[in-house]
Chain A
């Protein structure tokens, strides 16, 4: 096969105009580092992007038939899913892909965090990815309202109400977000604009930077290695594997869309169209936000109505802002990883975060309430059952890390489990248990540091 001749045609034409050779040369050197860690983690970013592309395509298709408006939003989606050929399929794929995108995004975020890929010089890759995460949640929240059904109406009412707790700007933010003091068709118009134009533009811009950074800097090496032990060429080896995996995801997506068109039927993951929104009807019993917001919903419930002279939701929002803020600046906080040293505390932080979210999500789902939804009486039971499951998962995680990854630092994970255990089994309030656990963790960490610096020279794992 004579590449030159074949390339002479189109390739040569492009080459003479755009000097692609340098670009192709650059790309051919891109390597995926292989080492002691599982290569599978590297695929997650691509999968997330794949789901996003599916969203864009199905979203554009939905746009052909969807009409925002009091009398048309619900009706147009009803029409789309019943009368338009394959309309049901497009909508179903769009809904499934949204949830799967958030799943893969979460896995991608935690895996890059554990692998410390955020360390210098890749801080901005982490930050841009973090903003992409927030934008994705925004997509989920804004898209949810668009069918204008009962569930969406109340979920949006509750969700937007929270911004009123922001000090100073709260009321302005609420009105701008909702297009008025209450959720009305004006809210629908604004969310539609956000979902279809504002968020996509921001997202595409950020993903462009995210990918640009990765291309420019190459993939992150495993911690401690100056040069990759082995590498796999990105083009064509890794890229084709990526493509293979995307096709597999497409297969799964399409099968789910056909067999479970309205979701797996779990509350918070159920998008049957249902009834049209009616502002004059009472709220939906058993209403829950989407599963990826359940942890926030549950956390809000754990706060008393007033705390330290402020309203409970305000303090909770403040706490969440702090947690999110810490997560955003991890590249700068983790100085050991910046120096190329092992950073067990931050791995532990990641796992602790996962357990923290697990407990809240389980409790938010009313696990243990017997399917009846929770009321005042069943809340302790829900707390206990969720705590049990979280503790079990935590034990498995600790054993697994100890055995497989030879982790030895478990202070933060144990603190998270302690909080959950105190709250679920001993009835201590969630917040008090949290304060106690943080204090215990600080004490343990300080003691460990003292012990280590007490033994010759500090050096530790």
Chain B
């Protein structure tokens, strides 16, 4: 009789631990799902510059605009429009355009890129993603993601 009692107690302990664990999992799972944020929504696809953004581009020779939720820097160098991701590949700071040096500079850790996004110096490990900027016949500018 003693054996069956201990084995039943053992079984009950096991049942208790297992059910406690299961309950914890059932509590933890919704919390973990809750914490992970939803993917970004908003305008996707080719983006057209607003009048204000175009004006800033004319004035400063560059402007940073959101395209499909990403920061993209548009710059004008010698009559040519370039569009690159503005998010530095090192730690994610926003890069800026230095017209005199014909390149992009990230002030956070002094990373430098050329106008095609390739890394010239500093810590960034990857080149900047390229976007396509097209000037429309009516003077407006449309930014879209590069194919491939």
Contacts and interface: CB of A to CB of B under 8 A. Distances in A.
Interface of A: 154, 157-158, 161-162, 172, 175-176, 178-182, 186, 279-287, 301, 305-306, 311-312, 374-376
Contact of B107 (A175, A186, A285, A376): A285
B107 A282 contact: yes
Contacts, number: 73
A310 to B, nearest CB: 11
A88 B40 CA distance: 37
Contacts of B123: 301, 305, 312
Contacts of B37: 175-176, 178-180, 186
Contact of B64 (A157, A172, A181, A280): A280
Nearest to A180: B37
A172 B37 CA distance: 9
A110 to B, nearest CB: 30
B110 interface: yes
Contacts of B69: 181
A282 B92 CA distance: 11
B65 to A, nearest CB: 7
A89 to B, nearest CB: 33
Contacts of B121: 376
Contacts of A179: 37
B51 interface: no
**Considering residues B37, B40, B87, B97, which has the most beta carbons from chain A within 10 angstroms of its beta carbon?**
B37
Contacts of A285: 107
A283 B40 contact: no
Given A175-B36, A176-B37, A376-B110, A162 B122 contact: no
B8 interface: no
24 contacts: A154-B93, A154-B94, A158-B91, A176-B35, A176-B36, A182-B71, A182-B92, A280-B64, A280-B65, A280-B66, A280-B71, A282-B64, A282-B86, A282-B97, A282-B107, A283-B95, A283-B108, A284-B107, A287-B93, A301-B109, A305-B123, A306-B125, A375-B110, A376-B122
A161 B91 contact: yes
A281 B92 CA distance: 13
Interface of B: 35-37, 40, 64-66, 69, 71, 86-88, 91-97, 106-110, 121-125
A102 B144 CA distance: 47
Main secondary structure of the interface of A (DSSP, over half): loop
Contact of B108 (A158, A172, A306): A158
Given A158-B108, A376-B122, 9 more contacts: A157-B93, A158-B93, A176-B35, A279-B94, A282-B94, A283-B93, A283-B94, A287-B108, A305-B123
B73 to A, nearest CB: 8
Given A182-B92, A283-B106, A172 B36 contact: yes
B125 A161 contact: no
Contacts of A161: 91-92
Contact of B125 (A172, A180, A305, A375): A305
Contacts of B96: 282-283
A103 to B, nearest CB: 26
B42 to A, nearest CB: 11
B107 A286 contact: yes
A176 B34 CA distance: 9
Nearest to A172: B36
Contacts of B86: 282
Contacts of A283: 88, 93-96, 106-108
Contacts of B95: 282-283
5 shortest interchain CB distances as A-B pairs: A282-B96, A283-B93, A285-B107, A305-B125, A161-B91
A37 to B, nearest CB: 43
A303 to B, nearest CB: 9
A281 B122 contact: no
**Considering residues A161, A162, A175, A280, which has the most beta carbons from chain B within 10 angstroms of its beta carbon?**
A280
Contacts of B109: 301
Nearest to A297: B109
B98 to A, nearest CB: 10
Contact of A287 (B87, B97, B107): B107
Contacts of B92: 157-158, 161, 182
A281 B40 contact: no
Contacts of B107: 282-287
B105 to A, nearest CB: 8
Contacts of A176: 35-37
Contacts of B88: 283
Contacts of A286: 107
Contacts of A280: 64-66, 71, 94
